[in-house]
Structure 1
Amino acid sequence: MIAAAQGGELIAFLSDSTGGYQILSPVKFIEMMGLDIASFARDAHVHQSTVIHAPAAQSIQSHLRVSLQVLVAVATASEGDLQDAIFRYRNEPLAPFDYKTAESLVAEGRAADVLNLLESFQAGFVG
């Protein structure tokens, strides 16, 4: 299960150093999530070369932060382990959002909607 402390561990795992400062590594995230660079770049709204040559770009770092926020919330809501959370994040259709996945909603800039839905589930809303 990913608790808040484990969310910190996840950030530590994804941490990388570039240009003398710490960033979230898009390469580590891509590997962890089982993505390819093209899919990540599409979801982050950047060119593939930006992922490789400018991993500290604001758009990439912002996408990583929001993705991790939702991923940790998915894990917390489902009380699952990281692999289960990744599977749900990438594959579970969410009925209130035309059966889109959390991953696709985050790519559309709708992370807050996913977080609100997860919060309502935790409060006891069932459907």
Structure 2
Amino acid sequence: MDLALWIATGLLAAVALTGGISKTFVPKAKLGKTAGGGWTADAGVGFVKTLGILELLAAAGLILPAVLDIAPVLVPVTAACWVLLMIGAISTHVRYRDGAKFVAVTSFYLALAAFIAWGRFGPWSFTA
């Protein structure tokens, strides 16, 4: 199960890194033209960039604390925060009628984060 948690964590960190880089460094106008990016039209540049920075921090928070063995409890805390972020993302995709595909993918990311939080807070914590 520890291996499954590491695989899920690596996958979620890659997703967070990709989303973070795009939201932080790609212009808002270009993001708005991508599939599922229509919400950026109603969001300020600062908000989009803040989300990007949060996603970059999430990518680091999912991996580095455990690898460096510095405050490894931050891994499940980050995963729990990702769950909250994905709840907001799902509601945004529903509100902007982006389609079932985006809701399904975002729900999958939410499920991965919940799995990581459950496993690392519980039976496979780094402190056990």
| TM-score, normalising length: structure 1 | 0.34
Q: Which has the bigger relative contact order, CA under 8 A and spacing at least 6?
A: 2
The structure with the greater share of residues assigned to helix is 2
The structure with the greater share of residues assigned to strand is 1
